[in-house]
Structures are given as structure tokens and as C-alpha cells.
Amino acid sequence: MLYINIKTTKVLCSISIEVDSTLIEYGKSGVNIKCVANSTNLIGITSIQLRRSESNVVSVSKYTVVWQDKELENKTEVTVNASIRDVSASFLHLEIPGSVDRYPKDTGSYQCILSGVTASVGASIYTSQSIVLNITGFPYLTTYIFSTNHARFEVSVQKGYLEFSTESYKNNTSLQNENESFLILYRKIITPVGTLISCVFAFIIVRELRLHYVASKATATSERTEKKYTNGVYIV
């Protein structure tokens, strides 16, 4: 596989965009992008904005660097150097190491946008040409089939993801096996216990019905044979 290592520069108006390579190898080479202001006709710069496929990534203004991509902001390995104090040397430089490349988020069309002031036009916005970055070496989707005693399901995952998270995958599999073992043990215990409880209830019900039947029969017999003795005479 051929990788481009030459520096690419495209210029439009008063801002240019530079990248070390437009082809990034996933997990190895990183993203290195620089927006450079061209001092021709500029008397002041308000901000420099880096965009990726219609989404803002990071910008620098007179006061500070502002992140729009919050996920990148939270990655300590990612660095941004920027300054607009000197019109002739204003820039914004973003570096994303290969260890934190995001696929496909970091791919796309990158562009620099400059807000500045010229002597002839006044406040103006300038844009660089777009440079498309691609990330290669990210394995294709692989479908894995899992089955248990209760269900069968398919999961499609990136092969590369499994390679970088083998330990996590093993832990999840181990946890699943433990849960299945617990369910099997639970069934072995609860089935005979449930049967025993059912038998006890059945015995109690039969016993109560039998006692009720005997009591009812005795009462009926007593009523039929009861005699009342009045004035020395039995009245049936």
C-alpha cells in the first residue's frame, strides 16, 4: 500500500491549509493540519476556524482557543497551537496522534476559514480550498454469531475493534458464562423446591376437603337420627 508523505499546500485568498498527508493509516499515522494566514492586504485578523465536512472542529480568536469538537477536546493526546497576534504569522495547528485516530469521524473534507480586515474591503471572510483526508487500514465489518440456551443473535463489529479490545471482550464473555451458570444452578434448585411446595399445598387441600366431608356427613346423620323425648315418649 502506498502512502503519501509529501506536504500538500493549497491556497485561496488570504488563508491556506496544509497537511502532512491526505492518507492516514489507522492507529499509526496521525492527523496533522495547519491553517496559515497570508499577510497580503490583511491589516487585522479576528479569528481562524478549522472545519471538517460542514462541522466546526476548533478555532482561535483574539482571546482564546475554542473547541467545537468536544470529544477531541477531552483527549489529552490531541494538541492545538494557534495565534493571531501577528498578522504576518497567524496560524492554527491541530495534531491528532495515530493512537487516538477516530474512524470515520476524523475523515472528511477539511477547510480553514479566516475572518479578517483588509485596507481595501474592510471586514471579510476568506476560505481555503478543501483537502480530503482518508483513514485506511481499518478492518472491514465481521459478523459474529452467538448462541445460548435461550437465544441466538448476530452482532456485526469491526474486526479492528476486537483486536484493540480483546481484554474487554474476554471479560464480557466470562461474565456471560457466569450468568448462564447461575441460571442453570437456579433452575436445578428452584424446580424441586417448587415441586415440593406444590405437593405440600395439594396435601393440605385434600386433607381439608376430607375433614370437611367427614364433618358434614356426621352432622347430617345426627340430624336424621335425633330424637326428642317428651312426657316419656320419643318423638322422631
DSSP string, 121-151: TEEEEEEPPPEEEEEE-PPPEEEEEEE-SS-
Q: Name residue 15's beta-bridge partners.
A: 12, 37
What pLDDT score does 23 carry? 93
CB burial of 103-131 (b: ≥16 within 10 Å; e: otherwise) equals beebbbebbbbbbbeeeeeeebebbbbbb
Contact assessment for residue 127 and residue 112, using Cβ atoms and an 8 Å cutoff: yes
Q: Cis omega (within 30 of 0) on the bond before 104?
A: yes
Asked if residue 124 has pLDDT above 70, the reply is yes
Its pTM stands at 0.55
What pLDDT score does 176 carry? 66
Minimum mean pLDDT among 29-38, 174-183, 184-193, 225-234: which range?
225-234
Name the pLDDT band for 173 (thresholds 50, 70, 90). low
Asked if residue 234 has pLDDT above 70, the reply is no
* Mean per-residue pLDDT, 184-192: 78
Minimum mean pLDDT among 157-166, 170-179, 211-220: which range?
157-166
Q: Which residues are CB-neighbours of 76 under 8 A, at least 6 positions away?
A: none
What pLDDT score does 8 carry? 43
The cell for 202 is 395439594
Q: Name residue 114's beta-bridge partners.
A: 48, 126
What pLDDT score does 59 carry? 97
Asked if residue 152 has pLDDT above 50, the reply is yes
